[in-house]
Amino acid sequence: MIKFLIKGLLRDKSRSRVPVIIVSIGVMLTVLMNAYIRGFMGDTIEVNAKFSNGHLKVMTQAYAENANQIPNDLALVGVSDLLDQMQTELPEIIWAPRIQFGGLVDIPDQEGETRAQGPAMGMGIDILSQNSKEDERLNLSRSLVRGKVIENQGEAILSENFAQKLGIEIGEELTLIGSTMHGSMSMDNFKLVGTVHFGTEAIDRGAIILDIEDARVALDMYDAASEILGFFNEGYYDNDRALQIANGFNATQPDDDEFAPVMKALGQQGAMGQYVALTDVWSVYISMVFVFAMSLVLWNAGLLGGLRRYGEVGIRIAMGEEKGHVYRTMIYESVFIGIAGSIVGTAFGLFFAWLIQTYGIDITGMMEGGSMMLPTHIRARIAPADFYIGFIPGLFSTILGTMLSGIGIYKRQTAKLFKELEA
């Protein structure tokens, strides 16, 4: 009988083509939106990861306990050897050493006297290395308000608000007054080559960016770094995987050495753990709302499809076919339609989600004059759930709609069918 029903659906396009197309479109939208919502909700996590937290972060144990104070006297040393070790053991992770520091930016006048000065929060990042991706990762070039990105040693970038407050122009000299890793005072001169907009008021009030080698010279941190950030090659954060890598790395480090490196996943750093958990929960809630909405649409489609066949059902009952048999065959047909539509819709949904995940939706044109803390591409993120979530509205809702519409079969009286057929 199943073979007979499948042949009937294939030969009668009016009973299979339109329902399969409707189910496919509904499932495709469900899969695509589920992947899109997951990627969209993860954008904030990725911005924080790229700017300060990383998917993984390596620090000394003592630095990790006081990370909010940026204690560079407890920073990592021997960074070159540590990077070589981690790149060998974890080749799937991209590592980026950084230096966080505080200081005072002094602007001299023509006679070398202080014209203006202000406290600054500084960041030393690897800009000048040949294979560095820090410029792209931090959205530095696109966030420029004036000037250019650092191209040579001895150059610096300030936040635009800070530069205006100090009254400094592109090309002028500034002096960074700070404290070295060993606690002594340091003063180094830099040339301002550009200004950027971070998008966060606290940072925009006073921020300076240096190449990491300049920061090492200024702070006496040769072959040292405040922290080493790690990023997955895939470009998005996987909490379970990050925790597994961090636990494996920490298991090989001594517990009684405060200067031994310790690795933390993004979800283990401050409030980010709560945000990661909330993002996962809200992504599920929003996806379920959309799945429920699409289920109602496909349920109604199955219901209307069953109602339109009341004339056919009447003829079959009038010819002596049992009501139960008619009802079961309609459900079997809806199962085949739901499966076919769900498979096709899931395939198309995953294809479009993969395109958005790989290439993203470029919103650079909308972000002119934007900030470092805002993404320039919107991306989806495909997860295992996307391979089966479309079957919820595609299969079960279609069957449920057919079952509800078929209940009317048992209420029909054979004696009244002839009057309906005559009319």
Output phi, psi for 270, to 5 deg: 60, -135
Position 175 scores a pLDDT of 92
pLDDT of residue 27: 85
How big, in percent rounded to 5, are the helix, strand and coil portions of the chain? 55, 20, 25
Q: Which residue has the tokens 């001594």?
A: 254
Is the pLDDT confidence value at 246 over 80?
Answer: yes
Residues sharing a CB contact under 8 Å with residue 245, sequence separation 6 or more, in sequence order: 56, 90, 93, 263, 265
Residue 2 has pLDDT above 70, yes or no: no
Average per-residue pLDDT for the chain: 80
Poorest-pLDDT segment among 77-81, 132-136, 330-334, 380-384: 330-334
Q: What is the rounded distance in angstroms from the CA atom of residue 136 to the CA atom of residue 143?
A: 11
The more confidently predicted of residues 292 and 382 is: 382
User: What six digits make up the tokens of 357?
Assistant: 């995940």
Q: Examine the pLDDT at 153 and tell me if it is beyond 80.
A: yes
The pLDDT assigned to 317 comes to 65
Confidence tier at 291 by pLDDT (50, 70, 90): confident
> What's residue 307's pLDDT?
54
- Measured distance CA(98)–CA(134) in Å, rounded: 10
pTM tops 0.85: no
